[in-house]
Structure 1
């Protein structure tokens, strides 16, 4: 009895599996959705900034603040040529921010390094330039293993 029940169960399960057909789905959607998705993909591929940290070494407003900010930027760039320095104006302040740090810990470490020269400097959350990747490509790294 059990054997015949088992055989018939397997037979009907097998028929059920054979009865399945490849599916076809037709999606009716507004064409603007595809345009939005294309725009989203384009913007994310060409994103030129990341969330990160910088050290603000100067900010001032008023007379001659732009020239003082430029002077501070040049002084920093001469002393630390490998570290990026950026002058920006956000009303009413000119400010000089330096570095492109992915983590606050990196920014705080650099702040400690320059603290003697810039005692009023502090870390700020900002949009940073992505780091330039150097060295081997992923395929070269795999081939080396």
Structure 2
């Protein structure tokens, strides 16, 4: 029985090896091109040459091509446009805050140090507004209302002389105060 099993295994292995070595035929895509005549299903259009009737009397161009407006409602489009623009202007004036940047100069648990950082900003940079926030037990002092990060970076270099750990943070800033800042002015 064992001999018979070994013989069957050898025979199966030989068949697998021989079938693996046999030459395989691959059908190439170029020899089996798809051809079908679609002329019967294509739509057909007959071209008809347009005919123009020539009138023998020449026509003069119209002298008045300006559209007439209704005298009861003159310039009604302008009135509608002005009302829409007025509502947009009112809406824009009501916006007080935008996404901008502030410089954080102090984070800690000591109120006197936070007040000291605030008073330093008042003295050294009177055009910047300091903001002190308290979230138990931490005081944070942020400075300025910058619309652009590049403006904040100019002040950051000057503030880092006193507060080396100062960094720029994204924050909601007051538009009017951010427009009053002059980052090109050097403060001491």
- TM bucket, shorter chain: 0.5 to 0.7
Provide the rounded CA distance (Å) in 2 between the counterparts of 1:55 and 1:83: 10
Paired position in structure 1 for 2:125: 80
Q: Give the alignment's TM-score, normalised by structure 2.
A: 0.44
Q: Give the alignment's TM-score, normalised by structure 1.
A: 0.56
Classify the secondary structure of the residue corresponding to 1:83. Answer: coil
Note if 1:112 corresponds to 2:157.
yes
Classify the secondary structure of the residue corresponding to 2:171. Answer: strand
Provide the rounded CA distance (Å) in 1 between the counterparts of 2:145 and 2:107: 18
Provide the rounded CA distance (Å) in 1 between the counterparts of 2:179 and 2:148: 16
Query: Which consecutive unaligned segments of at least 5 residues does structure 1 have?
Result: 8-37, 134-145
Structure number with the higher strand fraction is 1
Structure with the larger RCO, 1 or 2 (CA within 8 Å, 6+ apart): 1
Paired position in structure 2 for 1:54: 102
Q: CA RMSD in A?
A: 2.7
Provide the rounded CA distance (Å) in 1 between the counterparts of 2:135 and 2:51: 83
Provide the rounded CA distance (Å) in 2 between the counterparts of 1:93 and 1:69: 10
Q: Count matched residues.
A: 97
Paired position in structure 2 for 1:15: none
How big is the shift at 1:132? 4.1
How big is the shift at 1:47? 2.3
Provide the rounded CA distance (Å) in 2 between the counterparts of 1:90 and 1:115: 24
Query: Which consecutive unaligned segments of at least 5 residues does structure 2 have?
Result: 1-49, 56-86, 181-188
Larger Rg: 2
Provide the rounded CA distance (Å) in 2 between the counterparts of 1:43 and 1:66: 40
Distance of aligned partners of 1:90 and 1:48 in 2 relative to their CA distance in 1, 3 Å threshold: farther
